[in-house]
Structure 1
Amino acid sequence: MLTVQVQGENTAVVRLPQQVDFDNASAVGAQCEDLVQRGLTTLVVDASGTEYLDSSGVTMLITLSRTTQARSGTLYLAAFNSHYQQIWHMLGLETVIPLFPTVPAALSVSDAREPAAAPGVSDRV
């Protein structure tokens, strides 16, 4: 299950589960894509609680990035642990999906791109 917090009109923070792997990556991706289809074109993916991410999870994030771009949106990745930050950079994926040290850092970039944001509303997907 994902935790989703809507930030303004077009932005949502999506907290990934502890593990994103072959067993759940497609379901996580489908839930995120549903948010994009509902008009939330900027997604900040909070990976602060993610301890394991396999290639299925990486593929899901790349696919989700393409989905948001197709709807003139953006995907930001925030709060990866140091191990996955290193892998992300080694693979050159920061050019595909920008990586931020914290969710607030990613939101500050997102806020600069959209009109003034309304107070956040929590939701569970």
Structure 2
Amino acid sequence: MLRVRVRHADTTVVRLPSEVDHENASDIGAGCQELIEEGCATLVLDASDVQYLDSSGVSVIVALSSALDSHAGALRLAALSDHYQQVWRILGLDTLLPVFPTVRAALDGHDAGGRADTGESLDHA
């Protein structure tokens, strides 16, 4: 279910499924947690296929961000649809976890506003 697209050094790109909900959120969280425990310090969640995201999915993303923070890592959410970007802003999550327009932008560390992330620069995977 968890599709790892790119794995390079301590950076991993995972493509989320089209639906992230109560049916699969815990499996997604467990798979990503396993990657973190294996040494992933920068986890990019590619949301380009996501058509449905419920509160369970949002909770898993926030929990993964917290888990990476505690490991001195970073979670980067990329290619979230316009609709869910608006939901993200309404929930105030854009201040906690900015959304990157593309996976490439997430790897480069530039959020939707073009601001560089405060973390170190990443190698291109």
Question: Where do 5+ consecutive residues of structure 1 fail to align?
Answer: 121-125
Contact conserved, 1:75 with 1:98, CA < 8 A, in 2?
no
Contact conserved, 2:13 with 2:44, CA < 8 A, in 1?
yes
- Structure 2 counterpart of 1:3: 3
2:97 equivalent to 1:97: yes
- What does 1:10-29 align with in structure 2 at a 5 Å threshold? 10-29=10-29
> TM-score normalized by structure 2?
0.87
More helix by share: 1
RMSD of aligned residue pairs (Cα, Å) = 1.8
- Structure 1 counterpart of 2:60: 60
Name which structure has the greater RCO, CA cutoff 8 Å, separation 6+.
Answer: 1
Moved over 6 A (4+): none
**How far apart are the structure 2 equivalents of 1:97 and 1:19?**
20
Equivalenced residues, count: 118
Q: Deviations over 1:66-102 (max 9, x none)?
A: 0001100000100001100000011110111121111
**How far apart are the structure 2 equivalents of 1:85 and 1:33?**
24
Amino acid at match of 2:120: R
Change beyond 3 A, Cα 1:115–1:43: closer
The percentage of counterpart residues that share the same residue type is 49
**How far apart are the structure 1 equivalents of 2:68 and 2:109?**
16
Question: Where do 5+ consecutive residues of structure 2 fail to align?
Answer: 111-116
> TM-score normalized by structure 1?
0.87
- Structure 2 counterpart of 1:123: none
- Structure 2 counterpart of 1:31: 31
